[in-house]
Amino acid sequence: FALLGAGMIWLFSQKVKKTGDEPFRFLPLAIFLSFFFYAIVVVFVSFYPWTGIFMVPKTAVYVWIVLMGLNAFRTLEK
């Protein structure tokens, strides 16, 4: 799971650097945050059930990713 996340972060960061794609410049950070918040829940929820609350910021990161895509789509229309 961690290797998959690290690979995705690396691939997207390389692609953003290569293309200079402005709407997606924070996509690697968003992917990292998504994996980070989910990892906290997976590791600690059996000991500390309240850590399930970290699914809320994970969902917020997903919304942020969708908004990045919407922003990119809008810049294509111009």
pLDDT digits over 7-26, tens only? Answer: 989 999 999 889 888 888 89
Query: In angstroms, what is the C-alpha Rg of the chain?
Result: 15
Predicted TM-score of the model (pTM): 0.86
For residues 5 and 32, what is the distance between their CA atoms, to the nearest angstrom? 7
Residue pair 8/31 in contact (Cβ under 8 Å)? The answer is yes
Give tens-digit pLDDT for 30-69: 999 999 999 999 999 999 999 999 999 999 999 999 999 9
